[in-house]
Structure 1
Amino acid sequence: MLNVTVTGAGGFIGKNLIARLHREKGVFVKQFHHGDDLSLLHEYLNDTDVIYHLAGVNRPQNSEEFARVNRGLTESIVTYLKEHQKTPKIIFSSSIQAAGDTPYGLSKKAAEDVLKTYHMETGADVCLYRLPGVFGKWCKPHYNSVVATFCHEISHDKDIEIHDADKELELVYIDDVIDRFIDCLDQKKPEKTLYYSIHSSFHTTVGELAHKLYELKNIRESLIIPDLSDKWTKYLYTTYLSYLETDNLSYALPVHRDARGSLTELIKSHQAGQVFISTSRKGVIRGNHYHHTKVEKFCLIKGEAIITLRKIDSDKLITCHVTDQNMEIVDIPPGYTHSIENVSDDEMIVLFWANELFDPENPDTISLHVQPNTTDEKKG
C-alpha cells in the first residue's frame, strides 16, 4: 500500500489528480483541503510515502497572503517532516512565474527553495514542476486561467474582453500534467535535477485562442468537426464542452423531409467526410446514382432493405439483403450505381458515411438506374 497525501485537493489540479489516483492499484489517498486544520495535515504526514503539494493561492485579497500560504505552508510541511524524521517524496506544483519578480512568483520561488533545502538536508526525493498555464475540465473561470474564462463566457453566449490579442500564451493540458505526476509515484529521478517539465506544451496568443473557441462553438451550426488529430484542437474542444450547462448539452439538427422520408446530417469533417441518417417509408427506393470519386458506407439500423449495385459498364447486379437483426456495413465503391429499397413493413432507418463533404457545386452524383434495362439515365 502506498500512502499519498494531496494538499489543495479541492483545486483544479487536485481534483483531476485525485480522480486519477483512485484508479491506481495499491494507492491510498488522503486529501487536505483549503480550510482544514493544520493538525489534520500533520496527522497525514506521519505515514505518508508521497506528497503532492498543490495547495497555494494566486489571487489573494492582499499580497501578504502569497508568502503566508505559498511559502508558509511549505515550511510547515518540511518542518514537521524533519522534526519527526520523515522523508516522503514531495511533488510540488510551482509556476513559470517563479522566474519573475511578482509577489506570486517570488512566493513560489521561496517555496521551491524550502524544498531544495529539505532535499539537501535529508536526501528525500523532490520533484519541482514549474507549470505554465494549465487548462482542462474543472478549472475555475474568472480566476487565473484565460482558457477557463473564455470557455465559460463563450459557451454561455457572453462577450469576452481582450486587452491584448497578441499576448503570447504557453499552455499545458491537465491530463498531460496528471500523467507526469503519476509517473512520479514510484519513479526514481533519472537525472540529477529537481526540476521537471511537462513533455508537451502549446503556444498561442489570446486572439488566436478566442478565434479557435468561437470556431468550436459554431460546430453546432456548421456540424463541421475540426481536425482532432491535432492535440491542441482536441484538448481545447474537450475543455470547451466541459463548460456547457447541463441544460445545454443537446441541440437540434435540421431535418430535410419529403414524400420518401427524411434526411439529417449529423457530423461533418474536412478530414473524414460526413455522417448522415435517413428514414424511408415502406417501398421507398433511394439512390439510383453513382459517384466517380466519392465513396460511401451504408449501415441499416432499423428495418429490412435490399441494397443493389451495378458497375456502370456492366449488366451484372450485386444484391445485399440487410436487416437490423444482423448489423453490417456495405461499402459503395466509385463507379457503381447503387440503390437501397425498404422491403420491411415499417419505416427504415439507415446510417450513411461519405468520405467527403457534399459540395452542391460539384456533387459527384450522377443519376443512373441500377436495373440495366431502365433507359431514362440522367446526367448531372
Structure 2
Amino acid sequence: MNILVTGAAGFVGSNLVERLLEDQNVKVIGIDSFIGPTPENITRQNLKSLLNHPRFTFYEEDLLNVNWRSYLTGVDYVFHLAGMPGVRSSWGPDFQSYVTNNIDVTQRLLEASKHVPIKKFIYSSTSSVYGEKTGKVSEDAILEPMSPYGITKLTGEYLCHVYRKSFGVPTVILRYFTVYGPRQRSDMAFHRFIKNIMTDKPITIYGDGKQTRDFTFIRDCVVATASVLHAKGVIGETINIGGKERASVLDIIKELEKLLNKKATLHFVDAAIGEPKHTWADIKRAEQLLQYRPKVDLKTGLKEEIKYVKGIYFNS
C-alpha cells in the first residue's frame, strides 16, 4: 500500500506518518515545504525518527510548482495535510500566502489526482469553517467561517466536492477540532502557555479567557485519520474529529500551573477577531463511520505536551 502525505513534517503530518508506518504493508512518501510559524529547525526535528525508516521517503518541495503526477504514480491513498495555518495571521497582506497554500496547492493536487486511480483522497479541514455556533455542531450545520483562514479551508472543501462530482476523485473531508500534544506548532496556545510559564514570561489571553474549545489530543487525531484508509462508505463524507474533553482557556492555565508547579502571569488583551467563543464537535458520524472513540483526557495530554516542550527548549 503506497501513501502520499503532504505536510509530512508538520504537527499532524509527522505523527500521522509514524502511525501509518506501524503497518508493515505501508510505504509512505512525505512532502513538505516547511512553511508556517514554527521555526524550521524545530519542524525538522519532527522528522528525526523517520528519515532513516526503510519504508519512508521524504521530499522537500515547493508544493505549488511540484510535478504532482510524478509523485502520484503508484500511490493508493493521499492525505493532504499541507497548508498555511493560523486564524489571527490570515488577515491583511498575509492572506495571499493562505490563498496560495490552502487553495491553489489543493486545486493543483486535485487536478493531478483526477488522472490516477487513487482509492481515497483525504483532505484535512478545520472547525474554523463553522464560525460561531451554540452547543454541539454537526457536519450539516450552516458554514459561516469568521476568518480568511477558515474561508480558504472551506474553499478547499468545495474544491474536493467539485473534483469528486466532476471527475470521480474519491475525496473524504476531516474537520479537526483544536488538536494539541507533542509537536504542536509554536504559535498554538498550549505550546505558548507551557513555554511562557516555564520561562516566567506573561501569557497573553485574548478576551476574558472563558472561551472554550473541544481539545483533540494528537494521538486520537491520527488514529481517526489513519482509520479512513480501511473505512467503508466514507467517500464523499465530511467528518468531525473532536476530542475527549472541552475546557476554557483559564481552565487549561490552572491545570498547567498544577502540572508545572508554577504560577502563570496573565496579560489580558482584546478578543481576537475571527475566533469563535466556543467550539464543540458532534462526533457521531466519526463514531459510526470510523469507529472513533477519543481516549486521551486533557491532564494526560497536557503532561505529554509539557514533556515535549521541555525537550525542545531545555534538553536539546
**Shared fold (TM-score, shorter chain, > 0.5):** yes
**In the alignment, which of 221, 230, 238 is matched to residue 186 of structure 1?**
230
Instruction: After TM superposition, list the pairs within 5 Å mapping 1:321-360 onto structure 2.
Output: none
Quote the offset at 1:217 in angstroms.
Answer: 0.4
**In the alignment, which of 82, 105, 125 is matched to residue 170 of structure 2?**
125
**1:172 aligned onto 2:216:** yes
- 1: distance between equivalents of 2:82 and 2:156? 11
Deviations 1:256-296 (A, max 9, x none): xxxxxxxxxxxxxxxxxxxxxxxxxxxxxxxxxxxxxxxxx
Q: Which runs of 5+ in 1 are unaligned?
A: 220-228, 250-380
Partner of 1:36: 61
Amino acid at match of 1:218: N
Instruction: After TM superposition, list the pairs within 5 Å mapping 1:1-380 onto structure 2.
Output: 2-34=1-33, 36-37=61-62, 38-58=65-85, 59=89, 62-82=94-114, 84-99=115-130, 100-141=145-186, 143=187, 145-163=188-206, 164-189=208-233, 194-198=237-241, 200-218=243-261, 231-245=297-311
Amino acid at match of 2:303: Y
- 2: distance between equivalents of 1:230 and 1:53? 25
Three-state SS of the structure 1 residue aligned to 2:204 is coil
On the 8 A contact 2:13/2:81 being kept in 1, the answer is: yes
Three-state SS of the structure 2 residue aligned to 1:62 is helix
- 2: distance between equivalents of 1:88 and 1:133? 28
On the 8 A contact 2:220/2:296 being kept in 1, the answer is: no
- 1: distance between equivalents of 2:24 and 2:296? 32
Deviations 1:206-238 (A, max 9, x none): 11111110110019xxxxxxxxx9822111111
On the 8 A contact 1:171/1:202 being kept in 2, the answer is: yes
Which structure shows the bigger proportion of residues in strand conformation?
Answer: 1
Quote the offset at 1:130 in angstroms.
Answer: 1.2
Deviations 1:33-75 (A, max 9, x none): 1160433543111221111100000246611221221011110
Three-state SS of the structure 2 residue aligned to 1:24 is coil
Quote the offset at 1:202 in angstroms.
Answer: 2.3
Amino acid at match of 1:91: I
Q: Which runs of 5+ in 2 are unaligned?
A: 34-59, 131-144, 263-294
Partner of 1:344: none
Which structure shows the bigger proportion of residues in helix conformation?
Answer: 2
- 1: distance between equivalents of 2:122 and 2:184? 20
On the 8 A contact 1:46/1:86 being kept in 2, the answer is: no
Amino acid at match of 2:61: D
Coordinate RMSD, CA, aligned: 2.3
Deviations 1:72-131 (A, max 9, x none): 11100111122x243441111101112314111110011001111122234443221111
Quote the offset at 1:201 in angstroms.
Answer: 3.9
- 1: distance between equivalents of 2:314 and 2:83? 33
- 2: distance between equivalents of 1:134 and 1:246? 19
On the 8 A contact 1:7/1:32 being kept in 2, the answer is: yes
- 2: distance between equivalents of 1:119 and 1:104? 23
- 1: distance between equivalents of 2:199 and 2:74? 45
Amino acid at match of 2:299: T
Larger Rg: 1
Amino acid at match of 1:237: K
- 2: distance between equivalents of 1:88 and 1:118? 14
- 1: distance between equivalents of 2:296 and 2:61? 41
- 2: distance between equivalents of 1:136 and 1:68? 28
- 1: distance between equivalents of 2:189 and 2:313? 24
On the 8 A contact 2:177/2:240 being kept in 1, the answer is: no
Cα–Cα, structure 1 residues 80 and 136, in superposed 2: closer, same or farther, change >3 Å? same
- 2: distance between equivalents of 1:193 and 1:40? 26
Three-state SS of the structure 1 residue aligned to 2:84 is coil
- 2: distance between equivalents of 1:157 and 1:68? 38
- 1: distance between equivalents of 2:183 and 2:108? 28
